[in-house]
Amino acid sequence: MNSATVRNLLVRGMLAGLAAGLLALVVAYFLGEPNVDKAIGFEEAHAHEHEMEIVSRGLQSTAGLATGVLVYGVAFGGIAALAYCFALGRVGRFGPRATALLLSGCALLAVYVVPFLKYPANPPAVGNADTIGKRTTLYFLMMVLSVLLAVATTILGKRLAPRLGNWYATVAAVAAFALLIGLAFAFLPVVNEVPQNFPATVLWRFRLSALAIQITLWGAFGLAFGELAERQLNPKPAKAAAPPAITAASPR
């Protein structure tokens, strides 16, 4: 793949990430923010000292949320586009659209879902401020481990395919991934800093909304970028102009 094609796909990836970010922003605003407000209400009701807000809650839930989600969408769209350029043609005989959807699904699983199952997202008022560094380190360690194991799973599946066939090679590779992830879950420390009286419904809904945001982001990106990549890599041939109609000469 030449540099011009990579550059064009990078731009399309960033545009697709922006579009996906807009959809994720809608989900975050209508599903996530109400639970954040409830968590903040719980925190304020149980706080002994009230700190002055540097940025107002209204600004955080509108302009701040939009900036964060859209910048994240553009950034991850560019990174995903570069990964797509490397993966295209190397993960099987898939077309541009199918490769984009496959890449998005695998990235969603490896980058977010697997780490989420071990260290799920928490709303405000959940988590000790003194352990934020430790919790952040554990989360990124789990994410890096998940991505590396996903790459290793893909390589293992391709190595086993000539001997076992595609189906059994895929099953064996996925089983190895699940086993190693299970070991990571077992050996990495557990983090449970939910306050005793924190509403379980708010926590559950917040985590579901966080998962819904990521599913929307990656799913929309896969569909949008797949369509843009298809048009870039397999352009439709221009339709030939229709020949002029021949009219019968009128008799004299």
What is the residue extent of each domain of the chain? 1-45+59-126+195-234, 128-193
Whole-angstrom Cα distance, residue 218 to residue 76? 9
Whole-angstrom Cα distance, residue 211 to residue 216? 9
Q: Which of 86, 103, 89 is nearest to 16 (CA)?
A: 103
pLDDT at residue number 176: 95
96, pLDDT greater than 90: no
155, pLDDT greater than 50: yes
Element (H, E) at 200: helix 200-233
What is the pLDDT confidence band of residue 252, given thresholds at 50, 70 and 90? very low
Regarding predicted confidence, which is higher, 237 or 30?
A: 30
Contacts for 45 with CB less than 8 Å, ≥ 6 apart: none
What is the pLDDT confidence band of residue 56, given thresholds at 50, 70 and 90? confident
What is the pLDDT confidence band of residue 46, given thresholds at 50, 70 and 90? low
